[in-house]
């Protein structure tokens, strides 16, 4: 295939807002995973009891129950 044709196709893809959005989402998702992995390596696993105490102290028991339910559902899915 001609190099000029390949470059033109890449230029068309680069101008496509959907392609750009998809690339950005993929890139930032990768960056977020790397950051989380590095924080886990550096700080270790989180203490669930401390998280629960903070949630209860900051936003009240009702919200803490909703967040705990969400966390349980999320952990059972993955």
The number of C-alpha atoms within 13 Å of 35 and in the hemisphere containing its C-beta is: 6
Residue matched to tokens 């936003």: 59
Q: What is the pLDDT of residue 14?
A: 79
- Considering the entire predicted model, what is its pTM? 0.36
15 shares its domain with 28: yes
State the Cα–Cα distance between residues 22 and 20, nearest whole angstrom.
5
35 shares its domain with 63: no
The number of C-alpha atoms within 13 Å of 11 and in the hemisphere containing its C-beta is: 6
Is the C-alpha dihedral spanning 67, 71, 74, 76 positive or negative? negative
Q: Looking at the 3D structure of the chain, how many domains does it have?
A: 2
User: pLDDT exceeding 70 applies to what percent of the chain?
Assistant: 82
Range of 15's domain?
Answer: 1-43
Q: What is the pLDDT of residue 20?
A: 80
């Amino acid at each position: 295939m001609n190099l000029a044709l390949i470059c033109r196709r890449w230029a068309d893809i680069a101008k496509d807002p959907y392609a750009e959005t998809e690339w950005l989402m993929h890139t930032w998702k990768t960056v977020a995973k790397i950051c989380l992995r590095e924080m886990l390596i550096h700080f270790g696993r989180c203490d669930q009891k401390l998280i629960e105490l903070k949630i209860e102290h900051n936003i009240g028991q009702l919200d803490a129950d909703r967040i705990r339910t969400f966390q349980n559902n999320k952990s059972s899915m993955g």
